[in-house]
């Protein structure tokens, strides 16, 4: 395995980041996960645009997106695989022990891990914790992921692969690493970005390609939705067959099945939409 670290490729065994890196000590960093199919990244331009937005939002130096592209290409070439998770991590770099950033410059890591296509449907749970739609990190894809780790661990314990959050005012928001869509009266709806959810790349493409509505939704819409599905980089569009104790028989339902088919077809036609 070859990993890109601060300007070049390194073997996994020799790729080392300082224990004083701000990404490690205080979670001061951002990241993107990009699907790679047969060595080719999907929607890389959109991911890099969001990486830059997250950097600005966190006050990190503007990333050199040309360098990031070169890093992605080098890692993909060095690690051939059918389906991969390309991870771009960009942190505050070597810094003092505290919230203040150092002046050594940021750290850039690009790595690739092999993955497999997800099942057509999955189970999800809801959790009692909330997303803060007014927080300083709202809408940024940061490495401060501990609450997602905790929620996903609870989902795993209950035989699910995702946990869904409400926001602080009780509206449906998002999952730990996915956006959520519901079908009501045959139409697709998903929470707006104002709910506090991440502006997911797959979410945006699914809205564009399926005509989904961005709708402010109560959290209990999950109790009555005809169909539910998730959207994320590695899930693409994935049906939900159970929410907590509520089964959604026949998942993927007809609306979700069409959304899955449309997404697969459009994504195959253009790897950088």
Average pLDDT, stretch 158-180? 98
The domains found in the chain, sorted by start residue, are 2-114 (3.30.470.10), 121-269 (3.20.10.10)
pLDDT digits (tens, 9 = 90+) for 136-163: 999 999 999 999 999 999 999 999 999 9
pLDDT digits (tens, 9 = 90+) for 17-45: 999 999 999 999 999 999 999 999 999 99
Sign of CA dihedral 208, 212, 213, 215: negative
Q: Cα–Cα distances in Å, from 167 out to 5, 72, 100, 164, 179?
A: 36, 34, 29, 10, 13
Q: 193-230 burial by CB neighbour count: b if 16+ within 10 A, else e?
A: bebbbbebbbbbbbbebbebeebebebebbeebebbbb
**Residue 166 binned pLDDT confidence (cut-offs 50, 70, 90):** very high
Residue owning tokens 């991440």: 198
Instruction: Give the whole-number percent of the chain exceeding pLDDT 90.
Output: 100
Report pLDDT for 67.
97
* Residue 74 CB partners (closer than 8 Å, separation 6+): 2, 4, 9, 110
Q: What's the CA gap between 149 and 179, in Å, rounded?
A: 16
As a whole number of Å, the CA-based R_g of the chain is: 19
Q: What's the CA gap between 166 and 196, in Å, rounded?
A: 9
Average pLDDT, stretch 225-230? 98
Average pLDDT, stretch 69-86? 98
Report pLDDT for 187.
98
Q: What's the CA gap between 128 and 151, in Å, rounded?
A: 9
Q: Cα–Cα distances in Å, from 253 out to 22, 44, 122, 155, 232?
A: 45, 30, 13, 23, 19
DSSP run (H or E) holding 238: strand 236-243
pLDDT digits (tens, 9 = 90+) for 82-123: 999 999 999 999 999 999 999 999 999 999 999 999 999 999
Average pLDDT, stretch 254-272? 97
Report helix, strand or coil for 162. Answer: strand
Report pLDDT for 76.
98
Q: What's the CA gap between 55 and 165, in Å, rounded?
A: 25
Average pLDDT, stretch 245-253? 96
Average pLDDT, stretch 221-230? 98
Closest CA to 227 of 203, 251, 245, 261: 251
**Residue 182 binned pLDDT confidence (cut-offs 50, 70, 90):** very high
**Residue 5 binned pLDDT confidence (cut-offs 50, 70, 90):** very high
**How much is the mean pLDDT over the chain?**
97
């Amino acid at each position: 395995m070859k990993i890109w670290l601060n300007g070049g490729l390194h073997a996994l065994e020799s790729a080392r980041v300082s224990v004083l890196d701000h990404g490690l000590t205080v979670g001061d960093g951002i990241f993107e996960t990009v699907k790679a199919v047969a060595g080719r990244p999907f929607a890389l331009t959109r991911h890099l645009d969001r990486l830059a937005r997250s950097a600005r939002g966190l006050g990190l130096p503007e990333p050199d997106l040309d360098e990031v592209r070169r890093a992605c290409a080098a890692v993909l070439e060095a690690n051939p695989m059918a389906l991969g998770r390309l991870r771009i991590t960009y942190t505050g770099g070597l810094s003092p022990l505290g919230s203040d950033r150092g002046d050594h410059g940021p750290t850039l890591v690009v790595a690739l891990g092999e993955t497999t296509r997800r099942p057509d449907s999955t189970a999800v749970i809801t959790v009692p914790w909330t997303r803060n739609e007014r927080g300083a990190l709202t809408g940024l894809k940061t490495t401060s992921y501990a609450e997602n780790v905790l929620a996903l661990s609870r989902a795993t314990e209950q035989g699910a692969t995702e946990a869904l959050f409400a926001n602080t005012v009780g509206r449906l928001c998002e999952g730990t690493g996915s956006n959520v869509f519901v079908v009501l009266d045959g139409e697709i709806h998903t929470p707006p970005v104002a709910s506090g959810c991440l502006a997911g790349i797959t979410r945006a493409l699914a809205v564009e390609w399926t005509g989904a509505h961005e709708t402010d939704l109560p959290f209990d819409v999950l109790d009555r939705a005809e169909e539910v599905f998730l959207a994320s980089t590695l899930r693409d569009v994935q049906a939900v067959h159970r929410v907590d104790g509520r089964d959604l028989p026949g998942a993927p339902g007809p609306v979700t099945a069409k959304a899955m088919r449309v997404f697969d077809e459009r994504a195959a036609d253009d790897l950088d939409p």
